[in-house]
């Protein structure tokens, strides 16, 4: 099965102080040939989280580089840049589910492509379940 990969799940796999058994199990059980779809904003979220972790001395530069190397080895596929229709859908999903628009982008991607949503964000996971999207 292919998945939409939220940055929260990816970071819970690579950040030592945020490690989640759910994320570790997800990545350990990822099937050969599975694709992890990400919206364009995913890379910005990952880079921001790693730089903030370094700034706050939660990670060294070496650990940050190792985390990034692990993440870039994943079978990632970036979804197309958003068009007016998807931007409107982000807005609608954000309002309907009380999400930030950037979290709604993950839900919209999963819905549009018929994917499961890999997230450990409780609010996003609950919204996905209400929308009929499979979650971790």
CATH numbers and ranges of domains, the chain: 3-130 (3.40.50.1010)
* Contact of 67 with 53, CB cutoff 8 Å: no
pLDDT category, 33, cuts 50, 70, 90?
A: very high
* HEC sequence for 121-136: CHHHHHHHHHCCCCEC
Separation between Cα atoms, residue 94 and residue 16, nearest integer Å: 30
Name the nearest CA neighbour of 110 among 42, 23, 54, 32.
42
Where does residue 55 rank: exposed (0-12), middle (13-18), buried (19+ CB within 10 A)? exposed
How much of the chain, in percent, has pLDDT values that exceed 90? 93
pLDDT (mean) for 58-86: 94
For the stretch 89-114, pLDDT in tens is 999 999 999 999 999 999 999 999 99
Question: Which region among 29-33, 78-82, 90-94, 125-129 has the lowest average model confidence (pLDDT)?
Answer: 78-82
């Amino acid at each position: 099965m292919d998945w939409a990969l939220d940055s929260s799940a990816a970071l819970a796999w690579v950040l030592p102080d945020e490690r989640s058994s759910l994320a570790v199990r997800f990545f350990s059980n990822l099937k050969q040939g599975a694709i992890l779809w990400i919206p364009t904003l995913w890379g910005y979220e990952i880079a921001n989280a790693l730089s903030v972790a370094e700034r706050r001395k939660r990670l060294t530069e070496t650990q940050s580089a190792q985390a990034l190397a692990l993440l870039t080895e994943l079978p990632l596929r970036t979804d197309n840049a958003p068009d007016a229709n998807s931007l409107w859908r982000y807005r609608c999903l954000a309002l309907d589910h009380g999400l930030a628009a950037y979290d709604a982008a993950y839900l919209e991607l999963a819905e549009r492509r018929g994917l499961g949503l890999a997230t450990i964000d409780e609010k996003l996971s609950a919204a996905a379940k209400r929308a009929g999207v499979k979650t971790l």
